[in-house]
Every structure is written in structure tokens, then in C-alpha cells.
Structure 1
Amino acid sequence: MAEQLRLDSYLDFAAGRSPQMVAVSQTVHAIAAAGRQISRILARGPLAGNLGTIVGESIDGDGQKALDAMTHTIVREALSRAPVSVFASEEADEPEVLDAHAPLAVAIDPLDGSSNIDTLAPVGTIFSILPGGSRVADDPKAPFLQPGRTQLAAGFLIYGPQTALVLTLGAGTRIFTLDPDSGAFIATRGEIQVPRTTREYAINGSNLRHWDPEIRTYIMELKKGHNGPRGEDFNTRWLASMVGDAFRIMVRGGIYLYPADQRKGYRAGRLRLVYEANPIAMIMEQAGAAATDGRDAILDLVPTEIHQRCPLVFGSADEVLRVADAYSHGEASNSPLFKTRSLYRKTTSTIDELA
């Protein structure tokens, strides 16, 4: 192996940058510990009980599964021992104040892809670490209603054939693999750079009839392959697990599209800005990739409520720019995704600054 870098060492080095980074490092340690526990439960599968059983209502209307509730509790308990003032979970209606005097806020999706629990497809834990602010006790939502660019760190754990932690502290993106024997997270490669070009795309093609004409046109161009205007063949890779698709893109490039569409509940997009889009966008940008809602870079959006939804496109920068170009020349649409001619200029500027 070219490199053996332990997460502990990486966080210890980062902690030397500032007192704030000491707190960030301690919080990442806590999340990693929760990830180890979740990984062990998932590895037991049905031996750990019926993890996919519906045990309550969920905010997205799909029902809260047993493992959703279990992972929420595991993460909350881990963060209660970290310097976290307020904790917002995708599984809870409102943020919870843990320690009003602590410096950080954490937004987390404890179990992304819970529909995959019984099928052995990847699931994950997505997190965003933000400055906590000084008035958390008065307004626990306030730390989460700021642009994604204020994030101090972001990452996700993915539980699949191996458990891995994808992490950025705002200075590049790393992948740490869990050694199940020692319990250590270890990086075996340097900083990740997502390839700028790709011939792989991820989108749920079953929703084609609900898409706006612009996005249908873009996808059909890819499907035509070397006989179409792109002159080359593309492959579809769709896992119905955003962490799984994001991890693949981190490793070998690609583009992921979850647009708004005309179905009820999807017209403003489906993924949550605070818990999902912002942390994924920070990870991608720090790895040389890009993320947009179609008009603006995801990290420039200002949330107005903690469970706000948005369209999301991320991945290899050149392909994201092609998407923006295609829709900037399309007809005006009522969809929040790819709506205005200013899109291409805004997205290009943001991505070029990061390149």
C-alpha cells in the first residue's frame, strides 16, 4: 500500500490548526465511533433483529424503520459526549440542544438509503459540522440556516462490503477504511481527486415521464451513445442509495442527478439541503468535483428551514458543466432545476474558482 494514515493521526494534525479544529476533530471522532457501532449491527443483518420493520412515522412519509430509530439514538448518544451545542437529525422534527455552551452544531442523516436494509445494498450516515453560534438556546435552528460554505467539516460513512469514512475538513477529501480487527479507520491513498470527465451517470430512469423536457433531452443524448450527438457510449449506474453513488463517483468519476419533477412532493426536489446536499457538495468540491441545484452551487444556497428540500446534481466537473450548458439553452421551465439562462454563468464561475 502506498500510504497508511490513521484517522486518529489525521485528526490530531488538523486539531493543531485552531481551537475550533480541536472541537471539530473531537466531533469527527465521536461520529466515527458511532459508525463502528452501526457497522457491527449491520454486519449481523437479520441476526440483529428485523431492522427494516416500520416502527413509526417519518418526515418523508416512507415510515421510520427500526434501524432508522436505532441509528438516530446511537449518533445522538455519541454526539452528547462531543463539543456539540445542537444536534439536528433527519429523523427528528426539531433540533435538540445538547450543550448550549459548546462551539459546534451537527446536522446528520443517521441512515441514508434505509430502503436498502434488507437487500444488502449500501447504506450510510451523512453529516455536516457547522459553527454553533452564541444563541443556540434561544434559537436552536439558527446554526443550520446558513450557507453550506460555512461548514467546518462534512462527510459520510458507507456500510457495504467494507465500511469507509469519506471526510473533508475543508482542505481536501480523504477516504478512511475501517479495519474490523483493530477498529481503526485507515487511509490507504492520498487526497481524492474526482476525474473531471466521465462516461457514467446515475439517475432513476423510471421517472423519465415526470421530468421536464430539458432533462429528458439530456439523458436521451447519453442513451444514444456513439450514435448520438456526444459520439461516445455512456453507462448508467443507479443504486437508489446516494452514499453508494457518491462513493463510486469519488473513486472513478461520474455524475449523479436527482432533479425535481412533476410528482407531488418532488416539485421542489426531494433531497434535503441541510442533511444531504450540503455535506455531499462540500465533499465533492474539496475533491475537485461540483454540485448544483441547477441554478446555483449548492454551497451558496441559504436554507430557510431545516428540512428544506432541493434538486441535486453532483460529480465530475466537466459533465456538470455540460448539464448546465444544455439547460441554459433550453426553453424556460417551471421546475426548480435548470430553469434560467443565468445558470451556466453562475455554475461555471463557481466551478472554475474551485478547479
Structure 2
Amino acid sequence: MPQVTVTEHLLLHQKRTPMATGRFTSLLNQLILAVKIIAREVNKAGLVDVLGFTGDINVQGEEVKKLDEYSNSVLIHRMRQAGVLCAMSSEENAGIIEIPEGYPQGDYVLIFDPLDGSSNIEANINIGTIFSIYRRKTPSNSAATLEDLLQMGIEQVAAGYFIYGSSTMMVFTTGQGVHGFTLDPSVGEFLLSHPDIKIPERGSIYSINEGYRTYWDDATKEVVDYFKSPDNENGAPYSSRYIGSLVADFHRTLLYGGIFMYPYDRRDPSKPKGKLRLLSEANPLAFVVEQAWGLATDGVNRTLETQPTELHQRVPLFIGSPADVGKVREIYKKHGVI
């Protein structure tokens, strides 16, 4: 059977995917090019470290950036060239990333986490890039504003992630199901490898950092105790798997089922609403999981219906198989958590 590329897949489904216009395809192709550059650097990061090129100055006398900073700069540079964006937002930048005067502009907005899990690079653990795409709200002949970025997740036109590991994969949705593509280095193309991904109704794996249990509220403690109990609806304790890289933990959950949890905790007063960012992490993965028939919630409320009020707003996140996330909602409501 002939292999299908990302672009071919978009064209094949164009009638069912209204946003798969030439401009949208151009946006996606520029994003893919940026990710190929990042993947190349990720794959040789260990060698570069061994050879001594990760100090402040390399042997050519050039400043060497950390990989997450490098990934951020690559994405910003490439996406400014795309000619289809009016603004961007990155987890690494405090404010709106504007498209400078003189650059062609469009009606799309891109929000991204350039290198999720980058603290795990030296341990050779999977890391990734998360992205979210919206249409602008303000008129096309005006400068983009926060209104264009602070949109609810249900208004996304596309979202997904790239994961760098034993292979480089792209998993994304345009609101018509979820599909996975694997980079074939021999041809330099992402080829369809996981068509029409569906998360299992209930899983047997839970993922959470239990080292923070002391800081959880009673509802969260009961949630985790439920998954560890032999008396749960599976009739056996769930297995615990926690990588500490959101993309890696989510990718496993999407394929095998179960639940990933990053609840609010009292450990860090500077993050009273949790750690994960709504716009660059929670919303894009929530859009993906819902299109794969899963659920995402802050414990009670649907993640995609949260109205953002700031670019780097943080939220709790419970995401995964619908039966497992539904159980979290049930326990939280019992405790009166709203």
C-alpha cells in the first residue's frame, strides 16, 4: 500500500476538512520544516555534549543556545516566514509574538510549547513540541491583539504535537479525528502510520507524580486511591507509569488508554491554579483527546470550555480514557469541588 504524507492526507480529506486550504497547508508545512530542524538537533544533542559544543562558545566562536531556546527561535523564525499568521504565543515568551512589518501576514494564530520535557534531554527521555492553531477574531486589516490569542479551546481549528524519541512522530487533528504520522528519515517525510486513533474507553494505567501527595486536597487523594484499589471498576489496581514529560505521558495514554493527572497542589503558592499552561499545553492535548473519543477536565469542568484570561494561565489537568476521567469528575463533585 502506498504511503500517505501529511500534505496528501490533508488534500484527500479537504472536502471534509474546510480549513485544509492552501494557506492552512502552507502553515502546516512550515511547522513541519521547523520540527525537522529541531528533531535533527535533538537527535545529535548527546553527541554534541560529548564533543564539547554545549558551552557558551563553540569552536567556531558562535554562541550556543540551550536546546529549548534553540527550538523556540527556530519555530518563531520559520513561522514568521509562513505568511499565514497574524500572531504567535510561545511558552518561552512573556507576551504576544508579533509578525514584523514587511512580513506577509494571514488570519491564523499559532500557540506552541517549543520543547516540552526539555529537562529530560540528558536522560534520553522522549520530549516534544505541542501546537495549537486558531483563526483570528479581530479584523484582518488591524494589528493582532490578545483577543486573537485568548480563545477557548473549542475554537481551535487544529492542534497536535510532535514527539522525539526512537522515531519522530506527529499526531494532530483538524476536528475530523486524530491521525499519527512517523518521520521517515530516508525520504524526509512524515508518513501516515496511525490512522484514526481512538483511545480505549477505560485503561489500566494511571500517571501522576505521587511525590506531591502531601500537597493534594482530599478529592485528589481519593481519586488516586481509587485507581490503586483492587475494588475499582477494573477489579484490579491500575499500573503506575509517570515519565515526567507531558508529551510522552500523554502519547502513551492516547495509544494505550488510562489517565494522566496533573492536579492543583499546595506545593507552590506562585501557581495556585496548577502547573500546566492552558493555551500551550492543556487545550491542544484536550482537543486531540476529545477527537480520539477521550475526555479532558480540570476535575469538574471541560478543559476546552475554560475561558482564558491571560497568555500563561495555568490549570489542573485530568486527561485520558472517558471512563477514567469520568470517575475523577464523580469524585470531585462528591467533594464539592467546583
Pairing 1:298–2:303 present? yes
Could you tell me how far 1:14 is from its partner in structure 2? 4.4
Q: Give the Cα separation in 2 of the matches to 1:67 and 1:232.
A: 41
1:53-132 mapped onto 2 (5 Å cutoff): 66-82=66-82, 83-98=84-99, 101-132=105-136
For residues 5-62 of structure 1, the C-alpha deviation after alignment (integer angstroms, 9 at most, x for no partner) is 211201233456546633222211111111111111111123334798899xxxxxxx
> Helix, strand or coil: the match of 2:307?
coil
Q: Give the Cα separation in 2 of the matches to 1:281 and 1:219.
A: 21
Give the equivalent residue in structure 2 for 1:62: none
Q: Is this contact kept in 2: 1:221–1:230, CA < 8 A?
A: no
Q: Is this contact kept in 1: 2:19–2:157, CA < 8 A?
A: no
Could you tell me how far 1:190 is from its partner in structure 2? 2.1
Q: Is this contact kept in 2: 1:96–1:140, CA < 8 A?
A: no
* One of 233, 249, 252 as aligned partner of 1:248: 252
> Helix, strand or coil: the match of 1:314?
strand
Amino acid at match of 1:36: K
Q: Give the Cα separation in 1 of the matches to 2:201 and 2:238.
A: 15
Q: Give the Cα separation in 1 of the matches to 2:95 and 2:264.
A: 25
Q: Give the Cα separation in 2 of the matches to 1:38 and 1:311.
A: 29
Give the equivalent residue in structure 1 for 2:197: 192
Q: Give the Cα separation in 2 of the matches to 1:27 and 1:313.
A: 30
Q: Give the Cα separation in 2 of the matches to 1:253 and 1:202.
A: 11
Give the equivalent residue in structure 1 for 2:9: 10
Give the equivalent residue in structure 1 for 2:174: 169
Q: Which moved more, 1:83-92 or 1:43-52?
A: 43-52
1:168-317 mapped onto 2 (5 Å cutoff): 168-225=173-230, 231-263=235-267, 264-317=269-322
For residues 198-248 of structure 1, the C-alpha deviation after alignment (integer angstroms, 9 at most, x for no partner) is 11110000000100011112212322335x686312101101001001111
Distance 1:43 1:79, change over 3 A: same
For residues 54-83 of structure 1, the C-alpha deviation after alignment (integer angstroms, 9 at most, x for no partner) is 99xxxxxxxxx7111100111112211221
Give the equivalent residue in structure 2 for 1:150: 155
Q: Is this contact kept in 2: 1:24–1:152, CA < 8 A?
A: no
Give the equivalent residue in structure 2 for 1:31: 31
Q: Give the Cα separation in 2 of the matches to 1:21 and 1:205.
A: 45
Q: Give the Cα separation in 2 of the matches to 1:70 and 1:204.
A: 28
Q: Give the Cα separation in 2 of the matches to 1:67 and 1:271.
A: 20
Give the equivalent residue in structure 2 for 1:46: 46
Q: Give the Cα separation in 1 of the matches to 2:295 and 2:110.
A: 23
Q: Give the Cα separation in 1 of the matches to 2:56 and 2:288.
A: 31
Amino acid at match of 1:132: R
Q: Give the Cα separation in 1 of the matches to 2:304 and 2:271.
A: 21
Q: Give the Cα separation in 2 of the matches to 1:53 and 1:265.
A: 32
Q: Is this contact kept in 2: 1:194–1:250, CA < 8 A?
A: yes
Could you tell me how far 1:135 is from its partner in structure 2? 4.7
Q: Give the Cα separation in 2 of the matches to 1:79 and 1:15.
A: 23
> Helix, strand or coil: the match of 1:108?
strand
> Helix, strand or coil: the match of 1:5?
coil
Q: Which moved more, 1:36-45 or 1:5-14?
A: 5-14
Question: Aligned-residue CA RMSD in angstroms?
Answer: 2.3
Could you tell me how far 1:114 is from its partner in structure 2? 1.1
Amino acid at match of 1:10: H
For residues 117-172 of structure 1, the C-alpha deviation after alignment (integer angstroms, 9 at most, x for no partner) is 11101110000000023357545322111111110100100001110001101100
For residues 103-125 of structure 1, the C-alpha deviation after alignment (integer angstroms, 9 at most, x for no partner) is 10000100100110111011100
Amino acid at match of 1:164: M
> Helix, strand or coil: the match of 2:21?
helix
- Percent identical residues: 31
Give ranges in structure 2 of 5+ residues lacking alignment: 58-64
- TM-score, reference length from structure 2: 0.89
Q: Is this contact kept in 2: 1:41–1:48, CA < 8 A?
A: no
> Helix, strand or coil: the match of 1:126?
strand
Amino acid at match of 1:316: S
> Helix, strand or coil: the match of 2:161?
strand
Distance 1:18 1:326, change over 3 A: closer
